Structure 1
């Protein structure tokens, strides 16, 4: 609400700005105050007239002040439940519940200004209904998985080529500007024009992730993978079993010496900007812990058992590819090594593509399509006959895997435990 009020106030000042100047400073301040108070009143009335509840296996949400709307959503479409607490809400003891549903950009539901306890209870009830259990089921227990030390986060974020390069350039620009001032007595504006973008880039690439992932803690629970992180916007993210469609393990060049990686994922339900914002499962983690998480997410799949084979001609840039009964694994990159992992049960389609140049070389690219996200699992430079065999084999593996495993819906009522349960 504070951001909405601020936005309305800024728009009021920006649009008729030239006309407001004629009234004088006092009247401008009074009108701005009136607009801000009106925006606060409207937001409070809209919040007061909003309601929600659980009806059988449906979440019912009523909202709107001037235009009343009602939504009734089957919880079988639930993809993820997040509890978000901006700094002001933390001070007031409030929280916002964000419910992600299958269905595109308009599928997110936000329940704002709930008490912290009520948000926790509602989150547990929604996850229980989605799992096929009674809404009164107690909150599922959890087992600690990984807590990110602040020193490791700080060192890993600083020990990256873009950050180190920006720091070096910034220092050189400041030194050059100082030399010009000392020799001529004049300030060189070009120094400021180069230093400011570098400083903004450092804030985005270093301070942003540092504030976001401070106090990062992950745990495993029968209702999914739980992630807690953030200072100025504390967030608790719960990804139910089966919603992680693909995993990517990223190893920047300098991180390999430290033995740490970043784990990202395509999570069903998140779309657009929300997908990119929620794709990081572990921001900095030892390599061993990353592969342990993959086994937890994908029902015991062991990436180390998947044999990787180089591309035709042994070209390093095309990377390696491995396929077995459970997984599609592609690894590539020298400066930044990337390992993409897709279980056959999550693959939506398999493609073999070859452009005119590739056909002349006799090679093709194999792609494993998953729901939208940052991961586009593929392996290039495969001989056409080999690529065709891989596609046919993956189709057979996928059919067998989906035939023997049910979908993620109502996982708690099935005889087998969810992938992330211990």
Structure 2
């Protein structure tokens, strides 16, 4: 990076501690145009309404009051000026710096904010282009760290080329690739290989065959019944806001998932999607904490599934309507298996397609799945045979649901903690729920209504598997070269290593509790 705040785009190198950079000078316009447009719309609408008045013959129009127009233009001009100054100062006092170990972002005018994120804790990076930013060739760089779902770090806005190069530099350093500050070299974006793309027709069909359509049918039926009952057309007019909301839901679903593509690169899994606002997500290797494959009743005849993920730093993903945690918005069974192969290269079984298919729609006890015992039918008469689990060498599979089928996959090394829950009725029936805690996100792995004996056995076995997998798990810097261990000092006594099972089994066992 250059030492100048604004200038040409040289090679991306490590920043010294005294070198800082600013975002693009046009960023205030891209960020503030919505606020300015809202002010103009509100003031203009009020003035426009004053030009009309009701008469016995309809609506009359009166001429504009020049004094009122002057006041309107003055107020609008002052508001635009104030917002422009505010966004300019926000740009002026926003600086960023990328070193070998951290990303620093300083912002704020009155209340100063200094944020720092460790590069090796970066969980995912997005390059986002809103509609106006695309017109100027700008993009927002947004990256998440393992901070339990707090707000992400953002750089708004950079030239698209600069945002991609900065993403490449951060991912290269997170991967352990050394950047020599004394030998500037261009950090090229890692090449990607296309994995799959969703056709537009399926995106439209998925929006139609969704819960939004069910709600729309209910609104139409309710409005029709009310109109027949009352005979008043005003009932249909009252349903207009509902139809506007339904249309907005369809529009958001289609524009968000439009042109959805998945690719793989040394940096990780890349997702590209969006019609008006385009987004390019990069999830580095090993950052996916859990996967959820779901299928609703309307998609079952079509054989479609939805895949969501837990990624440390994304949290509940409420700020982006949950789109960032979607790994595959609508896909066939083969496409689901392709996506699983990208995030879980080693499924831990010799026949992964058959095992995962059995988890989604197979018989209750097929391919080693252990389902709930018969006494569970007293509290879960419809789905007790669908509640099951299966442990592979690398992950735990949790299955439940009859109307809405779900299969949850959690790698052993990503297990955060375990819990057993048992209420008085379940205790009387000899049942217990097994919970596997992941990071904050839309997925909450759970095995319902297990026999107490199976629950206790699974608790102990999963605690051991998780502890063992964490010791054997790949390094966080996935492209770094392993350094040979330092030889012990000649006079240093040898330290015996703890027993593997006892060393890591006990901490997880402390999480065992009942309600």
Q: Same-fold call, TM > 0.5? A: yes
Among candidates 124, 131, 153, match of residue 203 of structure 2: 153
Q: Which residue of 2 aligns with 1:164?
A: 213
Q: What is the CA–CA distance in structure 1 between the aligned matches of 2:105 and 2:287, rounded to whole Å? A: 24
Structure 2 unaligned regions, length at least 5: 1-27, 51-66, 180-185, 356-366, 483-515
Q: Is the 8 A contact 2:269 2:342 kept in 1?
A: no
Q: What is the CA–CA distance in structure 2 between the aligned matches of 1:263 and 1:176, rounded to whole Å? A: 38
Q: Which residue of 1 aligns with 2:427?
A: 359
Q: What is the CA–CA distance in structure 1 between the aligned matches of 2:481 and 2:396, rounded to whole Å? A: 26
Q: Which residue of 1 aligns with 2:511?
A: none
Q: Is the 8 A contact 1:177 1:188 kept in 2?
A: no
Correspondence 1:233 to 2:277? yes
Q: What is the CA–CA distance in structure 2 between the aligned matches of 1:146 and 1:175, rounded to whole Å? A: 43
Q: Is the 8 A contact 2:39 2:79 kept in 1?
A: no
Q: 1:327 Cα shift? A: 1.7
Matches within 5 A, 1:247-266: 247-266=291-310
Q: What is the CA–CA distance in structure 1 between the aligned matches of 2:109 and 2:122, rounded to whole Å? A: 26
Q: 1:325 Cα shift? A: 2.6
Q: What is the CA–CA distance in structure 1 between the aligned matches of 2:390 and 2:327, rounded to whole Å? A: 23
Q: 1:52 Cα shift? A: 1.7
Q: Is the 8 A contact 1:85 1:235 kept in 2?
A: yes
Q: What is the CA–CA distance in structure 1 between the aligned matches of 2:428 and 2:371, rounded to whole Å? A: 20
Among candidates 369, 372, 377, match of residue 311 of structure 1: 372
Correspondence 1:384 to 2:452? yes
Q: What is the CA–CA distance in structure 2 between the aligned matches of 1:248 and 1:230, rounded to whole Å? A: 22
Deviations 1:72-107 (A, max 9, x none): 432112111101111000111111101212224545
Q: Which residue of 2 aligns with 1:411?
A: 478
Q: What is the CA–CA distance in structure 1 between the aligned matches of 2:148 and 2:457, rounded to whole Å? A: 34
Secondary structure at 1:254 match in 2:
coil
Correspondence 1:246 to 2:290? yes
Q: Is the 8 A contact 2:219 2:242 kept in 1?
A: no
Q: Is the 8 A contact 1:180 1:188 kept in 2?
A: no
* Larger deviation, residues 167-176 vs 210-219: 167-176
Report the count of equivalent residues: 402
Q: 1:150 Cα shift? A: 0.3
Secondary structure at 2:301 match in 1:
helix
Q: What is the CA–CA distance in structure 2 between the aligned matches of 1:10 and 1:156, rounded to whole Å? A: 33
Q: What is the CA–CA distance in structure 1 between the aligned matches of 2:200 and 2:246, rounded to whole Å? A: 22
Q: What is the CA–CA distance in structure 2 between the aligned matches of 1:128 and 1:274, rounded to whole Å? A: 28
Deviations 1:250-274 (A, max 9, x none): 1111212212211001111112424
Task: Compute the TM-score of the two structures, normalised by the length of structure 1.
Answer: 0.87
Deviations 1:249-304 (A, max 9, x none): 01111212212211001111112424834110110111122123223212321364
Q: Is the 8 A contact 2:435 2:447 kept in 1?
A: yes
Secondary structure at 1:406 match in 2:
coil
Structure with the bigger RCO (C-alpha within 8 Å, sep 6+) is 1
Deviations 1:31-86 (A, max 9, x none): 23211222112212321332222223222223233444443432112111101111
Q: Which residue of 2 aligns with 1:300?
A: 346
Matches within 5 A, 1:276-291: 276-291=322-337
Judging by fraction of residues, say which structure has more helix: 1
Q: How large is the RMSD of aligned CA atoms in angstroms?
A: 2.8
Q: 1:367 to 1:105 in 2, by over 3 A?
A: closer
Correspondence 1:270 to 2:314? yes
Structure 1 unaligned regions, length at least 5: 416-422
Q: 1:9 Cα shift? A: 8.2
Q: 1:222 Cα shift? A: 1.2
Q: Which residue of 1 aligns with 2:409?
A: 341
Q: What is the CA–CA distance in structure 2 between the aligned matches of 1:72 and 1:311, rounded to whole Å? A: 47
Q: What is the CA–CA distance in structure 2 between the aligned matches of 1:198 and 1:361, rounded to whole Å? A: 48
Secondary structure at 1:151 match in 2:
helix
Q: What is the CA–CA distance in structure 1 between the aligned matches of 2:319 and 2:227, rounded to whole Å? A: 43
Judging by fraction of residues, say which structure has more strand: 1
Q: 1:341 Cα shift? A: 0.8
Q: 1:406 Cα shift? A: 3.4
Q: 1:397 to 1:105 in 2, by over 3 A?
A: closer
Q: Is the 8 A contact 2:149 2:312 kept in 1?
A: no
Correspondence 1:223 to 2:267? yes
Deviations 1:290-339 (A, max 9, x none): 12322321232136446222211174424222123322111122221111
Task: Compute the TM-score of the two structures, normalised by the length of structure 2.
Answer: 0.72
Q: 1:164 to 1:271 in 2, by over 3 A?
A: closer
Secondary structure at 1:98 match in 2:
strand
Asked which structure has the greater CA Rg, the reply is 2
Q: 1:163 Cα shift? A: 3.2
Q: What is the CA–CA distance in structure 2 between the aligned matches of 1:227 and 1:10, rounded to whole Å? A: 32
